[in-house]
A and B are shown apart, each in its own frame.
Chain A
């Protein structure tokens, strides 16, 4: 790993200015970033630490939506009584997201912007209809979490843009579930992640891990049409079987879940 500059701005404006440079990268908890730097995949000259921007709030909005600051840690989300009361599927997903040491420092913004399809919250937040607020030097824009992803480790964020907040609409009468399946050890990256939100007869299904980004499934029967590649987690045929089984099980879990 080569030497780098570490800066800790106190305002969003400063942070955006510091990020508007070649080889600058934002750092939330940096749990994924440091691994990529150690492996030589990323060689940033400057890391802009976002911890002091005051963006770590977790609160209810006027319409009953959950407003999560981008630098809230995954552990804070997991422990939040607000989240547990209103969106218990998020709390459940967090229990098995990586491990407690990672959750203690990893942030929601970093988790989403990393764009690794094996992570747990992108499919679940996509299915829940969550919306991200993104700030750039030109101002703010809002886009569904579903639209954040362009491909494997690729987002639709532009250079110098930061996720600052994520709003999750109130669950209401909807029911949600997220299930993942690992094929080697329990702490492995999942081979398949499935998020399901049921709104009466309407099913919203997102598949991830087996796909290069969280992918909306038109129905439970649409698995065959998915483009899946085999890898060390399993062959394409096997992963399709896992998706079929886990979609069925996630729907069942959502139906029987309290929320």
Chain B
């Protein structure tokens, strides 16, 4: 080890411990599924639909089957022999393992070629011929509300979420879920308002772009199935594969090593059902590694339309707000219905508004499926409400920061659902952002063709609830410690954070702790690594499990009648007569939750709130519309950071990702639902040369009292404010307002010409 071990008496929490896995990663020794090769393994190459909606009339795989080196070609017919109802999904059982009868988006998997040489499989897949009878298709989320083109003949809620059960069997609709919230009388209050503002905003479909594309390997024996997969949710994969196969969970093992990025792309179930079926059909290990291009057809972020209407009184106090949000879920629901509800209830923003109405709709369309992407729908909402709020302030001649301050949701006040805000440093985060941006100081507005502006935006998120985490902590006979948890380290630093939490309780050095990676045969259940929930939920479970281990060790010590300062080694030696045995502390953590009532109201919507604001300075080239972000400030309430350096890199990383979604990234579809830019050459994520000249990240002094050592999640927080802050700054610089993402140079230039 190249790291110097820290003395155990140093506080472990609050220390910027270097990532425990850094050395493995920079020396190329970290385990990834992409590098896994098993003896006799077959590679699968997917043949995909070329139409966005159609009935499969003919599927001819004979030419592919005839290619030398092809082991087998598999279609839905063979899948069905093994799994009679081959539909999966976390919210709806709507997604077939391979297309059955119909295809519902371009790029949908239709057949798989298996070969021991992946190049042979690829060549052969290109020889498969499919004929489709075209069906009417729908692509726009608002049109999907009333379109005659229906994506699914009937809705099939999974039953996992009790509040979706009533949708079972519903036909002739593309609305997978509609969520409604009513508090006070928004319509009445808008009638009596001094001024009413209404705007409509749009966000585009984008992709997660993990640099390790999705990859899964399955291997089987007669009675067991092992899945090695780049997944954020191993426990869910086991449950879902067990359900599909009709097997008990203990015959399925899901192993997850490191991930090369996740961002929500690797959640729930993706390639796992397919490789499992292929392995069971062939009795051989089967691997499928997607190309970067194929990722665009697998999972994406919801495009949205958001209509927002607010009424203010003469003093600039927001009296009422109506929000209508349409989420473009693509052809399969994935977790979209959860996004619609769990994010939908924060649509009015972090403001104290007496009368609110929210209508949030999850829509099926004939585009690639959409799921969760770093923020779980919140960036789409903040984009709209913080653009809208800024436009109102400017129309009213008010300072945008002061206007927000006047309306801010403060500690102890009820949010739209009625849940009272606790440990949410909204005001502090806004103030600190304004300070770091020197909001009150004079600002150089540029000259000639370079105009400068600045903008600010603030958003918040309720952590998804209710969810469960279990953890175990072992103290070995030599005193060394192991943490068992199913949280997946996909680059966010969870191994290090969990080790710090355990080390703090066990009073040992973080660097001496070993964290065992997700393996459902070994590590206990966890809902998933998503939505910034792990540090809070799993962090609490690890803390409790470590405390349980300490308690059991103390018990052992007292049983052996050794003095309180006796070493761990001595305790075990005395108890077992040699260096043997261990104690295993266990714990589960499930925060309280109250389901919303018929009006969407609840007194306990979430275990904690995340608060994030961004402030930006931009330069706009008035001759081309090109925007350069010269300064980006990200401020967050992350509670009390366990590892300040990791908090900082999470804040900067999330904001840079959102910068791409703001300025350059967009999946471009033509009128037939064909994706025109499914490659990194034509879908542009930010590179180093696109980064702002200066990025400042700060976590305000705060405490999440229910969190482990005062901490809470931070992985998504700085995605919230970036997009609207930049749009607000562009208006400040050149006087034009864009309401649709991305904020392309052309859109800005054309808007300036119309001014």
Interface residues of A (CB under 8 A from B): 1-3, 35, 40, 181, 183-189, 232, 234-235, 238, 241-242, 245
Contact = CB atoms under 8 A, between A and B. Distances in A.
B623 A232 contact: no
A40 to B, nearest CB: 7
Contacts of A188: 664, 684
Contacts of B746: 183, 234-235, 238
A234 B745 CA distance: 9
B744 interface: yes
Given A2-B123, A235-B746, A241-B749, A184 B681 contact: no
A234 B626 CA distance: 12
Given A40-B126, A184-B664, A232-B676, A241 B690 contact: no
A137 B69 CA distance: 40
A188 B690 CA distance: 11
What bracket does the count of chain B residues touching chain A fall in? 20 to 34
B682 A232 contact: yes
Nearest to B621: A245
A35 B679 CA distance: 11
8 contacts: A183-B626, A185-B664, A186-B689, A187-B684, A188-B664, A232-B668, A241-B749, A245-B623
A183 B690 CA distance: 11
Interface string B153-186: 0000000000000000000000000000000000
A1 B120 CA distance: 8
Given A2-B119, A232-B668, A245-B624, A183 B745 contact: yes
Contacts of A1: 119, 122
Contact of B750 (A184, A185, A238): A238
B686 interface: yes
B687 interface: yes
A227 to B, nearest CB: 19
Given A183-B744, A189-B681, A242 B687 contact: no
B375 to A, nearest CB: 21
Contacts of B623: 241, 245
Contacts, number: 50
Contacts of A3: 119
Nearest to B685: A185
Interface string B630-669: 0000000000000000000000000000001001100010
Nearest to B747: A238
B671 to A, nearest CB: 15
Nearest to A2: B123
Contacts of B116: none
Contacts of B687: 185-187
Interface of B: 119, 122-123, 126, 623-624, 626, 660, 663-664, 668, 676-677, 681-682, 684-687, 689-690, 744-746, 749-750
Contacts of B123: 2
Contacts of B689: 185-187
B630 to A, nearest CB: 14
Contacts of B686: 185
Nearest to A40: B126
A185 B661 CA distance: 11
A229 to B, nearest CB: 14
Contacts of B626: 181, 183
B231 to A, nearest CB: 27
Contacts of A245: 623-624
Nearest to B117: A3
Contacts of A186: 687, 689-690
Contacts of B126: 40
A242 B684 CA distance: 20
A185 B119 contact: no
A181 B624 contact: yes
Given A183-B626, A185-B687, A187-B684, 12 more contacts: A3-B119, A183-B745, A186-B689, A187-B687, A188-B684, A232-B668, A232-B676, A234-B745, A238-B749, A241-B624, A241-B749, A245-B623
The 5 closest A-B pairs by CB, nearest first: A186-B689, A184-B684, A185-B684, A184-B664, A238-B746
A185 B745 CA distance: 11
A40 B291 CA distance: 14
B662 to A, nearest CB: 12
Contacts of A238: 746, 749-750
A164 B746 CA distance: 41
Contacts of A185: 660, 664, 684-687, 689-690
A104 to B, nearest CB: 18
A35 B122 CA distance: 15
Given A2-B119, A183-B744, A245-B624, A232 B685 contact: no
Contacts of B685: 185
Contacts of B677: 232
A40 B119 CA distance: 12
A187 B668 CA distance: 19
Nearest to A99: B687
Nearest to A245: B623
Contacts of A183: 626, 744-746
B539 to A, nearest CB: 36
B755 to A, nearest CB: 15
Contacts of B663: 184
A115 B123 CA distance: 28
A185 B690 CA distance: 6
A187 B119 CA distance: 30
A228 to B, nearest CB: 13
A101 B660 CA distance: 23
A188 to B, nearest CB: 5
Contacts of A181: 624, 626
A185 B744 CA distance: 10
B741 to A, nearest CB: 13
A120 to B, nearest CB: 15
Nearest to A192: B624
Nearest to A3: B119
Contacts of A234: 745-746
